[in-house]
Structure 1
Amino acid sequence: MTAGDGTSLTPAAVAARSNRMRSLGLAAMIAAVAALCVMSLAIGTRDVAWSDILAALHGQVDSIGQAAVAMRIPRTALALVAGAALGLAGAVMQGVTRNPLADPGILGVNMGASLAVVIAVAWFNITSAYAYIWVAVLGAACSAVFVYTIGSHGRGGATPLKLALAGAATSIAFASLVIAVVLPRNDIAGGIRAWQVGGVGGATFERISHVLPFLLVGFAISLLSARRLNSLALGDDLAAGLGERVAVARAVAALGAVLLCGATTAICGPIGFVGLVVPHVCRLFIGIDHRWLLPFSALGGACLLLAGDVLGRIVARPAELDVGIVTALVGAPFFIWIVRRQRVRDL
């Protein structure tokens, strides 16, 4: 590679320049998240002035505008952490499975968590917030293992295409089971249906505090798995030759993704396509190094969910469109584009 003046650059100089560009990109992503947080506080059924935002951030609720901002603060915080969790989980799942179509929704993980929560509510009458989270995480884990087991059968093992097909079939089956469980229970049907759409409305700091420990553990495990995911990207044989315990590396990284997916689904409902769209877009700009891809995906997921929530408030005024619907409208065409872009034999 040559510099602008025609002189050649050493590999170390190239790496340093690339890292500087990535650092600038990371700073830009952080600034974008901050800007979207401000927009989330300012935009809604009622637009508010800067003075109301600043007053509400200081705890004042003396006017209607300040009260509106006070209600949007936990909603913004939930969209921030949930988007980051889903974006990071998607990047980890794509790294674990080496599957460009991997996504908590497409692989059936979100719907597994959803089915577990619905069964727990309908059949066991759970009411504890922590019980919801544990049940959702267990359901997500069982679904992930089930899909991977089904996708591993047959010639070639767990290929990306077979995993995607197994996940799609599992999601459809679990969605049908959710309907079957809810239909006889009119007393919970309304709340379950609203939760299944996926959204961040009605968030409170109390609810966020219940799920935050699970998310923090998931974030830590996932981010610390970056080096292992880089090894897995080289192939199982080469990763094992480099001293990596492939099965352990894959299981630990998957655990982080399952924690993120299960906890997010418990509080927001099953929100799809964030984990598919965000890692792909980030990979186009910063490459495949998971040490950079994972934090970029977390910030990108936060941006997408914050922007989707703001857009949902604008397009249906004075009503609101849940962010799960907005991400589906964005993600479905993106999924079709990825499938058309990739050759089936290369998936």
Structure 2
Amino acid sequence: MWRRRSKMAKLQQQAEASPPLRTRPLAASLILLIGIGAIALGIGLSIAVGVADITLGTVWDALVRFDGGNNHHQIIQSLRLPRALAGALVGAAFAVSGALIQGMTRNPIADTGLLGVNAGAGFAVVLVFAFIPWLPFAYIIMFSFIGAGLGVALVYGIAYFSRGGMTPLKLVLAGAVVGSLVSGLSQAISLLFQINYDLAFWSAGGISTADWFQVSVMLPWIVAGLTCALILSRSVTILSLGEDVAAGLGQRTKLVKGLGAAIVMVLTGASVATVGGVGFIGLIVPHIVRYLVGVDYRWIIPCSAVLGAVLVLLADIGAKMIAVPYETPLGSIIAVLGVPFFLYLARRERREL
């Protein structure tokens, strides 16, 4: 009993001696205000840009004075608007998932794509397309949740039971191995069962197939996940200071990690089921947000959601404009930004070690 009290007292002293959090509430408030406006503008531009040339005025008319006999209005309401909304939702979900993972693991190069979460969710969806293709999307998204959870468990299991224990570098290496294995199996299954072009485009990160039904199914899951992430944000901030400090402050670290993992599974599973495995959003956005607003996750999470939505909307506009009349997969465009960013972070972390 005396030893336990002594240990708790030592942890409490460490917690009290830890440096104060560096936060910039004014910068965060400006990012949220400007970002929300950027999301609205990005949705309008995403709707206007495409094979059919549509002006922003026509977009506004279609939203406030819909005319069922107008072809442009039909294109906007049935195709482009749900696509833009899906892009904003998955951008926010991927970015917040990355922020949660980085905060809980204290791993600055963590991301759902790099840690096998996207690959696990995508593999589950490919199995559904191959063996039970008639399954409604509302059930496909459930399989995506399961696949995301299995991907996380496999990556963490490999890193944890490796010699020397789990480190940030081992997590990334395990994620790369698991992601490559699962992606290879997914491609083999798609070739064996001759799954059509839509799946190939989806697996590369295609958002063009999103429709109102998919948006209606994914919306409550992503809104619930983002809400829970905001509620958990204070605990993630404390956990990001280190498990010893968090324990000294009385936090139940295993419970926080479990809840955070569940939120990541929901956000990632819903996103992958809709647009495929788009990586690097959860790597790029949280780093930019931390640089701008500090290390308090009560600001990092909402700002990451806003900037993640903006990033995907801009990338989707680029996907429509690069090779007209064809579309470039969304995942390819973001990877062009994400790979150099990851290499920069990896090199910086190596120097610091």
Q: Does TM, normalized by the shorter one, top 0.5?
A: yes
1:280 alignment partner, SS class: helix
| TM-score, normalising length: structure 1 | 0.90
CA distance in 2, matches of 1:315, 1:285: 30
174, 186, 198: which one pairs with 1:191? 198
- Counterpart of 1:158 in structure 2 is 166
Residue 276 (str. 1) matches residue 293 (str. 2): no
Give the deviation of 1:158 after TM superposition: 2.2
- Counterpart of 1:128 in structure 2 is 136
- Counterpart of 2:13 in structure 1 is none
- Give, as a single letter, the amino acid of the residue that structure 1 aligns with 2:27: M
In the TM superposition, what are the counterparts of 1:33-72 in structure 2 within 5 Å?
Answer: 33-58=39-64, 59-70=66-77, 71-72=79-80
Give the deviation of 1:345 after TM superposition: 6.3
Residue 337 (str. 1) matches residue 344 (str. 2): yes
C-alpha contact 2:32 2:303 (8 A) present in aligned 1: yes
Residue 316 (str. 1) matches residue 323 (str. 2): yes
77, 84, 98: which one pairs with 2:92? 84
C-alpha contact 1:226 1:291 (8 A) present in aligned 2: yes
Mark the CA change 1:22 to 1:140 in structure 2 (over 3 Å): closer, same or farther.
same
Residue 107 (str. 1) matches residue 151 (str. 2): no
In the TM superposition, what are the counterparts of 1:204-283 in structure 2 within 5 Å?
Answer: 204-283=211-290
Q: How many residues align?
A: 332
C-alpha contact 1:183 1:189 (8 A) present in aligned 2: no
Give the deviation of 1:68 after TM superposition: 3.2
- Counterpart of 2:312 in structure 1 is 305
- Counterpart of 1:9 in structure 2 is none
28, 34, 37: which one pairs with 1:31? 37
More RCO (CA 8 Å, sep 6+)? 2
CA distance in 1, matches of 2:244, 2:132: 45
Give the deviation of 1:95 after TM superposition: 0.9
CA distance in 1, matches of 2:22, 2:277: 40
Structure 2 residue runs without a partner (length 5+): 1-19
2:41 alignment partner, SS class: helix
| TM-score, normalising length: structure 2 | 0.89
- Percentage of matched positions with identical amino acids: 36
CA distance in 2, matches of 1:265, 1:235: 30
Give the deviation of 1:217 after TM superposition: 2.1
Moved more, 300-309 or 147-156: 147-156
Give the deviation of 1:192 after TM superposition: 2.3
1:100 alignment partner, SS class: coil
CA distance in 2, matches of 1:230, 1:159: 20
Give the deviation of 1:19 after TM superposition: 2.0
CA deviations on 1:89-132 (whole Å, 9 max, x unpaired) are 11111111111111111101000011111123323445211221
CA distance in 1, matches of 2:70, 2:220: 34
Mark the CA change 1:179 to 1:92 in structure 2 (over 3 Å): closer, same or farther.
same
C-alpha contact 1:199 1:269 (8 A) present in aligned 2: yes
2:192 alignment partner, SS class: coil
